[in-house]
Amino acid sequence: MWPALRALFGEDRPRRPRTPSVLDRALVFVLVPTAIAEGLLRDGLAMRPVEIAIAVIVVGTLWFRRTHPLGAVGVAFGLAIASIGAAFAGVEINGLYTQTCLLLLPYSLLRWGSGREIAVGLAIVAGTYVVSALRGDMKHASDAIGSAMVLLFPAVLGASVRFRDDAHRRDVDHARLREREVLARELHDTVAHHVAAIAIQAQGGRAVLATRPEAAASALAAIEDEAARALAELRILVSALRDDPRRQHAPPAGIEDLGRLAQGAGDGPAVEIELVGALDALAPSVQAAIYRMAQESITNARRHARKATRIHVRLAAEDASVRLTVRDDGERTAARPRSGFGLVGMTERAQLLGGTLRAGPDDRGGWTVEAVLPRTRGAA
């Protein structure tokens, strides 16, 4: 219990308006003349000027009930305590009906206050209840229960609205975080492959620039082609992020685009694509994931495979799943760099679709990445 109370006491203020709302201003403009009129026309007021002044001040606290909820509660309920307690000194202050607007303040306190403000404000509200009980206003248990319910209901309502708003805000933040992760993964998958190919071509072109100018020219042409592809994919990605949902975008890369991954190898290892079985009924999300995984695996092999001459990409259809295998024939190593988004992004893609991914050294040498995905999203 104490940890929960400490957590509540340390609760930060929610985001709240910096200026009074239009509704609060309208309430004040309407209720202030109403309070004055009631005070002037109502019979039986022993201290008419005082009671009118108290009512006007209580109504005025609505002006800043959102921006300063504790201050509003302190002023309004402090005056209520003073009015009720005046009976102990023989002074009768009845109070105006317009003052019942102060019941909005417990709602505002729980809705907009910090944990410390809520604790202090509820103590002030409880003080009103206690002073009223001591004065003898609650002769029966039903009176005590009814008075407590009148004070608690707006407070509970404010707390429920506050927690609902907090939950919604957390959902929005979580959705934004997921969008950032997806964007980071897409940017990595889109750019890394083409930049790696450009780097390989540039290295090869520089090596043969003096002795084989025609090979260097071919490398420059390949660099230009890779840069154009990278720019095109980035434009597709950026256009997908635009606000207009009616905008038509190019379809994501799929199985039929795997052949493009074999292009632009230059002096690097050759890429072979092998398709086995019926692959035409795969879900679009599965096809896009297969393409990105193959692209990332080829990029990693070109970067890290030592003395590799061939990268074999095999996509095989199974009964309820599809298996992607990317294997290079480089020297066998115990491990390869795992930093960055590459392997993490591929693993996330597989898991989101209900599949699995394994990456590691192969018994025959080189490195193998194997992913098994359901034929339809979430079927596994």
CATH number of the domain within which 299 lies: 3.30.565.10
How many angstroms separate the Cα of 79 from the Cα of each of 53, 108, 227, 335, 360?
11, 18, 74, 74, 74
pLDDT at 326: 92
Q: Are 333 and 367 in contact (CB under 8 A)?
A: yes
Per the model's pLDDT, the better-predicted residue between 108 and 213 turns out to be: 108
| pLDDT single digits (tens) 183-205 | 776 666 666 666 777 777 777 77
Range of weakest confidence among 81-90, 92-101, 214-223: 214-223
Residues 366 and 241 in one domain: yes
pTM exceeds 0.75 for this model: no
pLDDT exceeds cutoff 50 at 361? yes
pLDDT at 65: 92
Asked, for residue 142, whether it belongs to a domain, the answer is no
Rounded CA gap, 107 and 62, in Å? 12
Q: What is the mean pLDDT of residues 27-35?
A: 94
Range of the domain at 275: 177-374
Domain's final residue, options 137, 158, 191: 137
Q: DSSP 3-state assignment of 117?
A: helix
pLDDT averaged over the chain? Answer: 81
226: alpha, beta or left? (left if phi > 0; alpha if psi -120 to 50): alpha
| pLDDT single digits (tens) 267-280 | 678 888 999 888 87
pLDDT exceeds cutoff 90 at 169? no
Domain's final residue, options 79, 113, 137: 137
Sequence-separated (6 or more) residues with CB below 8 Å from residue 17: 66, 67
Residues 124 and 193 in one domain: no
How many domains does the chain fold into?
2
pLDDT at 379: 45
Q: How confident is the model at residue 7 (pLDDT cuts 50, 70, 90)?
A: low
pLDDT at 242: 59
pLDDT at 380: 40
Sequence-separated (6 or more) residues with CB below 8 Å from residue 169: none
Q: Residue 340 is inside which H or E element, if any?
A: none
Residues 267 and 361 in one domain: yes
Which residue type occupies 62?
L
Per the model's pLDDT, the better-predicted residue between 53 and 375 turns out to be: 53
| pLDDT single digits (tens) 113-163 | 888 899 999 999 999 888 888 887 777 778 788 888 988 999 999 989 988
pLDDT exceeds cutoff 50 at 110? yes
pLDDT at 1: 45
Residues 232 and 323 in one domain: yes
| Bridge partners for 311 per DSSP | 271, 328
Asked, for residue 220, whether it belongs to a domain, the answer is yes
Q: How confident is the model at residue 252 (pLDDT cuts 50, 70, 90)?
A: low
pLDDT at 302: 81
pLDDT exceeds cutoff 70 at 338? no
Asked, for residue 146, whether it belongs to a domain, the answer is no
Rounded CA gap, 293 and 380, in Å? 18
Domain's final residue, options 137, 166, 191: 137
Asked, for residue 154, whether it belongs to a domain, the answer is no
pLDDT at 58: 94
Per the model's pLDDT, the better-predicted residue between 90 and 323 turns out to be: 323
Asked, for residue 192, whether it belongs to a domain, the answer is yes
pLDDT at 84: 86
Q: How confident is the model at residue 32 (pLDDT cuts 50, 70, 90)?
A: very high
